[in-house]
Amino acid sequence: MAEVLVIGAGPVGLTLACELARHGTRCRIIDRAPRPSASCRAIGVTPRTLEVWDDMGLGREMIDAGLWLTGLRSIVDGQRTGEAIRPDAGLPYASLGLPQYETERILARHLARFGITVERGSALTALSQDAEGVTARIEREGKPAEDARPRYVVGCDGAHSAVRRLLGIGFEGAAYPWPFMLGDVRIDWDAPYGMSVRALRLVEGGPPDMFIAIPLPEPGRYRVSMLAAPHLVPRSGPDHGIQAELKGPSLADLQAVADDLLPDKVPLSDLRWSSVYRISMRLADAYRRGRGFIAGDAAHIHPPTGGQGMNTGIQDAYNLAWKLALVLKGASPDSLLDSYEAERRPIGADVVARTRRASEGYGRERGGAPDQAADAQVSISYRGTGWVVDAGDELDGPAAGDRAPDANGLVRPGLGFPLRLFDVLRGTEHVLLVHLNGGGEPATRQDLSDWMQGWPRRVRDHLRVVVIVRNTAGLALPGGALLEDYEGAFAEAYGSRTMSYLVRPDGHLGWRGGSWRDPGFQDHLRRLFPITQASVRPGAEGLAGSPAERSTGAGEAREPPTRSDRAPRKELG
């Protein structure tokens, strides 16, 4: 029986299902559409999402299927204002262009490697929950309805989410008053491969007239977007998303806007797909109700400026999957799941606000350069939230809650090639990253080795140790990885002091401090992986908890009764 039911098989739902399976959790994914979408709504992939896919084992496949977005040509009021080339910014990846249908194809193929396929033509119509799990009514055309009983349900079912509605979660916001039209066309012009083109005419008191062309991997092909022609849009209809019930724009409709805004009359041809698209700006009141969660467009919708929507949703899924897996395995307490909303909802709120400001400021000087780190999504942090702990404000390097930076040129004894730090962090476990700013004195290494051997199995199954030193000559660390910071890249990214970091499975720092022996770190591990004194070996007694916890067994992980304010026991909706 599936432990998690995922509703929606777009990029967010597929990412969640893949990650649950990679973390060893049984899941099931359904989608009401009878077949995958052929539209290319979302194209831009941020560097942070590529890091996520690399961790999942999908980086190469996604890159091979896409193209690098190399720059932006701007045309304002008929005059070319220059071509902005995207800076490297020191990131492992540039921004990638990849049509949504290709993203979904690769994710679905990856999911099939775990023996899971999308159940299409299946709709969620009712939902209730109790202390043991969820009852989900699934209906298929021409077949009897089914009442599935997973432990948890996650709605990745878009702006009109059935899960959000059935959980009774509010979705406040407003519709963007101007609909758009989209098309997949060929354009014959002099724009270099990988360069986007944006043509604007500023309009007093309203949105600018616009023609935006985002390149697709096939040379000469673009996804174009612009304000919709009035004759294509009725006065009423859904306030967000593809208007599938409406006739899409013709090639002539798209060409008319290109002729009006582009100084060179470039021909558009070979229209393969088109649609009318509406935009809203909304944020869900909550991301969790008891055993139900929402992610992606079900939780936050906004203008597509900067390509943040799909990427934010994928990272919602990446954040939630490892937490669900640990709770379902009995390794971590149910309260860990509350951190999903605490960490991700502020990110959704920020994206809605930033894309609103960017949309309102199209083509207008706003003062200051774009926030490239924010657009790349590498600056996202969970600082100050309940499940990240910082042992000091004055320490060097990244803070608890930040994304763990990468570092190149690391050397491991026995390997004839250098490593990236991300190569070592890749996997489903937490990683204790210890930086010994020196050679790693024998007494220090022996103390760390003894401490590792004293861990109970509950911890050892979910935690690895990586030690970084200046020189590994003659050193060893049984049970852990010992790396030499040969080029000094780690010290540059993390600071030169002796430090310890706990890197979570999603690549963010859950704890930072001076030593793994810090009592605060022991407390954090005991909270994350509750254990009792009886399971602790000599050398790691600090993990066992307080005397009160040891006498009552309070350290044991258990599935607590679901809080009444989060899990109503009646039919929802």
One DSSP character per residue, 361-386 reads TTTS--SS---HHHHHT-S-B-TTST
Same domain, 232 and 145: no
3-state secondary structure 179-244: CEEEEEEEECCCCCCCEEEEEEECCCCCCCEEEEEEECCCCCEEEEEEECCHHHCCCCCCCCEECC
Same domain, 520 and 452: yes
Same domain, 133 and 206: no
Same domain, 145 and 291: yes
Q: What is the pLDDT of residue 550?
A: 38
User: Reduced to 3 states, what is the DSSP secondary structure of residue 313?
Assistant: helix
Fill in the DSSP letter of residue 86. P
Position 416 confidence tier, pLDDT thresholds 50, 70, 90:
very high
pLDDT tens digits, residue range 9-38? 999 999 999 999 999 999 999 999 999 987
Rg (CA), the chain: 25
Same domain, 257 and 328: no
Residue 217 has pLDDT above 90, yes or no: yes
Q: What CATH number does the domain containing 545 carry?
A: 3.40.30.10
Same domain, 32 and 113: yes
Containing H/E element for 85? Answer: strand 79-85
Residue 371 has pLDDT above 70, yes or no: no
Could you tell me the pTM of the whole model?
A: 0.90
Q: What is the pLDDT of residue 571?
A: 36
Rounded to 10 degrees, the C-alpha dihedral 341/573/245/256 comes to -30
Position 554 confidence tier, pLDDT thresholds 50, 70, 90:
very low
In this predicted structure, which of 66-70, 342-346, 475-479 has the lowest mean pLDDT? 475-479
3-state secondary structure 488-505: CHHHHHHCCCCEEEEECC
Residue 347: both structure tokens together: 């990110």
Average pLDDT for 381-403: 89
Same domain, 346 and 439: no
Q: String of b and e for 281-305 (b: at least 16 CB within 10 Å)?
A: bbbbebbbbbbbbbbbbbbbbbbbb
User: Which of residues 364 and 60 earns the better pLDDT score?
Assistant: 60
Q: Is residue 139 part of a domain?
A: yes
Residue 538 has pLDDT above 60, yes or no: no
Top mean-pLDDT range of 139-148, 275-284, 368-377: 139-148
The residue segments making up the domain with residue 104 are 4-66+95-175+281-363
User: Which of residues 554 and 541 earns the better pLDDT score?
Assistant: 541
Residue 347 has pLDDT above 60, yes or no: yes
Q: Is residue 567 part of a domain?
A: no
Residue 302: both structure tokens together: 């906004």
Distance CA 292, CA 314 (A): 18
Residue 525: both structure tokens together: 């591990």
User: Reduced to 3 states, what is the DSSP secondary structure of residue 346?
Assistant: helix
Position 408 confidence tier, pLDDT thresholds 50, 70, 90:
very high
pLDDT tens digits, residue range 92-146? 899 999 999 999 999 999 999 999 999 999 999 999 999 999 999 999 988 999 9
Residue 561: both structure tokens together: 């009764």
Q: Is residue 80 part of a domain?
A: no
